[in-house]
A = this chain, B = another copy of it.
Amino acid sequence: MTLDTPSGEDSLIARYFKPLATDPGAFGLMDDAAVIKADGHDLVVNTDAIVEGVHYLPDDPPDTIARKALRVNLSDLAAKGAEPAGFVLTLALRQSDESWLSAFGRGLGEDARTFGCPLLGGDTVSTPGPVMISITAWGRVPLGRMVHRFGARPGDRVMVTGTIGDASLGLAVLQGKPAAAALAADPAAREMLVGRYRVPQPRNALAKAVRDFATASMDVSDGLAGDLAKLCAASRVTADVNLPKIPISPAAATLLAVGAADLEAMISGGDDFEILCTVPADRCEAFGTEARRAGVAVAEIGVITAGDGHPRLLNAEGQAIPLKRLSFSHF
């Protein structure tokens, strides 16, 4: 890791990131490494990177890029039932752009405070290619209490937070696809969808309820359909999902109604960063109560069944709908 004297790289860190590193374990980013105080908890570690032009658009505001980079990691911690405890940052930049870095640092610092997840260290490197932000974050769970992808059992209900598909529609809007024209007269809906693409809303408020009620859990980052298939495969079960029960926003419903959105694309598109989890049938009511208390909307969208095929997606008539693709893949 790097610090604050005397090279240019070090002053970058001093200027933009040292103000964020207020945790005692960060040593003001003045040292080569940080300390995570160990205690009677397990530390859950997650790493996720975002790349310019792949996970965000080059002209996205830098503060939203920073928030997204941190929040995709916070979303994983939430789904694992962990309370955020800290993160380290690797920033690969083409050049040092003061106004970009200043806004990036501001967004990152605000989110670090909001989510109680302090910056403990980092590395900046130069690259001739696209900007890349890699974050490793960790969180605490009581010993042995991380919630896994495996653990779902037949009869468990499939639950999902928030709404699905907004982020992929926000990207479509930014790319000038039909959704953009359809929303020309509704700037509030446009802004909401774009906001969902640029700034995920990780469900960290739900972490304790996930720990207390979920048999299996993961965040939805590569599309609901594909991510549910992964959860089922890890749990050696399958599922029946009722498409009409998948929660969608009013803006998405409007776009679906006018043919400017496609449900299949919405459930196989990326960037939702909602929690997908399974809860025993007799505990769903209590889980719902805890979720309401935490201020997070949850919807029951299906049921886990025995078997090893792909989850079935059932329309309003109970007929299984085949999907052309399950999820976003980089390769």
> In the complex, what's the smallest C-beta–C-beta distance from A222 to chain B, in angstroms?
7
Which of B7, B51, B86, B89 is close to A222, meaning CB atoms less than 8 Å apart? B7
Number of interface residues of A (CB under 8 A): 83
* B38 close to A38 (CB less than 8 A): yes
| Chain A 148-166 near chain B by CB (<8 Å), digits 1 or 0 | 1110000000000000000
Please give, as numbers and ranges, the residues of chain B lying within 8 Å of A43 by CB-CB distance. Answer: 35-38, 43
Please give, as numbers and ranges, the residues of chain B lying within 8 Å of A77 by CB-CB distance. Answer: 33
Please report A residues at the B interface, Cβ cutoff 8 Å.
1, 3, 5-10, 12, 27, 30-51, 53-55, 76-77, 79-80, 82, 86, 88-90, 92-93, 95-96, 120-130, 132, 134, 136, 138, 141, 143, 146, 148-150, 218-219, 222, 226, 229-230, 233-234, 326-331
Please give, as numbers and ranges, the residues of chain B lying within 8 Å of A40 by CB-CB distance. Answer: 38
* A330 close to B8 (CB less than 8 A): yes
Please give, as numbers and ranges, the residues of chain B lying within 8 Å of A10 by CB-CB distance. Answer: 230, 329
Identical copies in the complex: 2
* B331 close to A33 (CB less than 8 A): no
> In the complex, what's the smallest C-beta–C-beta distance from A56 to chain B, in angstroms?
12
> In the complex, what's the smallest C-beta–C-beta distance from A206 to chain B, in angstroms?
15
Q: Which 7 A-B pairs have the closest CB atoms?
A: A129-B129, A7-B329, A136-B136, A126-B330, A36-B43, A134-B134, A8-B331
